[in-house]
Amino acid sequence: MGGISTERPGAQPVGHQEVAPEQLRAGVVSATDPATLAAWRKVQEFNARFVGVPDDQDLEDYTRAAQAAYGHLPALADIADTGKTSAFAERVGFMRPPRIAPLAKPSFRFIPAPYTLDADIYQCMVYNGGLPGVGDENTPRYFALGLDIMAALSPEENNRAHTLLSGMQFTGSFFDFDIKETAYANYERQYHSARSLVFLLSKGGWSENLYTFTLHATTGLLGNVARPGEPYTQNAAWADRCLNTALGAWTELKHDTMPKLPAVIEAGGEGGISESPVPVQPVGYVEQAPRVYRTLLDMTAAERYTLKSLGYLSTDASQRIDTFAALLSMVIGL
């Protein structure tokens, strides 16, 4: 969102990246107003606590580079100083690359893309050219699947997602390597690398934002989902049902956090939930997944705290959170 590419035809390499100083200067100068910076920081904090910390270089990174090069936050009059501009471009050229797609050209983003665990897992599980990946130049694995995410999130034992991948062969209209997903070169190495990302985050990091909190909730549907005394849960069909639910939750999470234009969505019609009263409530079945429900209940508390601390907790949002929390408390107690 709000991306300004720093690559241009004829741009000279500076440090280890190519930069276009004119575009970088314009981006930084346009956002040095104190009121703009204050509003930007609030949006950034909201994004970080809901989805993830910035993975791209953000406005703070560029303003620090600009202050170091110009001696102060640059104004329009400073653009004419080519010496300081070159110093600024050189500092930008040596900024750290993002964790996701580090080989991509640098860009200035007013609202930078966040780092997410599943994006990192995806990156592990495809062929990346100069980066460690799956496949090789002759038989590259072009696409990772949702099952790769679930396999990385699942415990080592009873990993249904990994079992399904080992018997799956994904083909496309422009390639058909006649190879199972787990048979690509380096698949197992990268699979364990992806699992290590999950392991590191599990050591206290699941609650760092609501996005990873939601990923954590899906893990209650993975692994050994069979329950003693309930034969219908002790088979592959039940494991697949739970896995499908986890995949659905992850898909909805991705959909909800993709940058969208609300006006276009509203105009086009996206369906929605009808809140009209139901005359006769149907008899339902509450699945016994207390771990999932408790994680979701903790997440609603975290969401309330985040919205309130940032000043975004409206009466309507508070009521919706209360309603969902009450429902979760009820099913936990059943």
Q: Quick: pLDDT tens for 133-167.
A: 999 988 999 888 999 999 999 998 889 999 999 99
Whole-angstrom Cα distance, residue 180 to residue 207?
A: 35
Dump pLDDT digits (tens) for 17-43.
444 555 555 556 655 667 777 888 888
Whole-angstrom Cα distance, residue 90 to residue 67?
A: 13
Tell me the pLDDT of the chain averaged across its residues.
80
Q: Which residue has the higher pLDDT, 68 or 129?
A: 68
Quick count: other Cβ atoms within 10 Å of Cβ 305?
Answer: 12
Supply 113's token pair.
Answer: 């893309």
E strands along the chain, which residues?
A: 3-5, 13-14, 17-18, 107-109
Residue 179 contacts by C-beta under 8 Å, 6 or more apart in sequence?
139, 169
Torsional sign, CA 108, 112, 115, 118 = negative
Number of H helices, E strands in the chain: 13, 4
CB 42 within 8 A of CB 310: yes
Q: Write the CA distances from 137 to 50, 174, 183, 200, integer angstroms.
A: 38, 15, 15, 30
Mean pLDDT of 200-208: 82
Whole-angstrom Cα distance, residue 218 to residue 300?
A: 15
Q: What is the pLDDT of residue 283?
A: 66
Whole-angstrom Cα distance, residue 331 to residue 327?
A: 6
Tell me which residue of 65, 123, 116 sits closest to 89, measured CA to CA.
65
AA letter at 261: L
Residues of the chain with pLDDT > 70: what percent?
A: 79
CB 57 within 8 A of CB 111: no
DSSP state letter for 316: H
Q: Are strands 17-18 and 13-14 parallel, antiparallel or unpaired?
A: antiparallel
Supply 110's token pair.
Answer: 């007013």
CB 43 within 8 A of CB 110: no
Burial 306-318 (b: 16+ CB within 10 A, else e): bbeeeeebeeeee
DSSP string, 123-135: HHTS-BTTBS-SB
Q: Is the pLDDT of residue 7 over 80?
A: no
Residue 42 contacts by C-beta under 8 Å, 6 or more apart in sequence?
310
Dump pLDDT digits (tens) for 268-326.
333 344 445 656 666 666 677 888 999 999 999 999 999 999 888 999 999 999 999 99
Whole-angstrom Cα distance, residue 212 to residue 171?
A: 31
pTM of model > 0.75: yes
Quick count: other Cβ atoms within 10 Å of Cβ 65?
Answer: 22
Whole-angstrom Cα distance, residue 126 to residue 20?
A: 30
Whole-angstrom Cα distance, residue 107 to residue 6?
A: 5
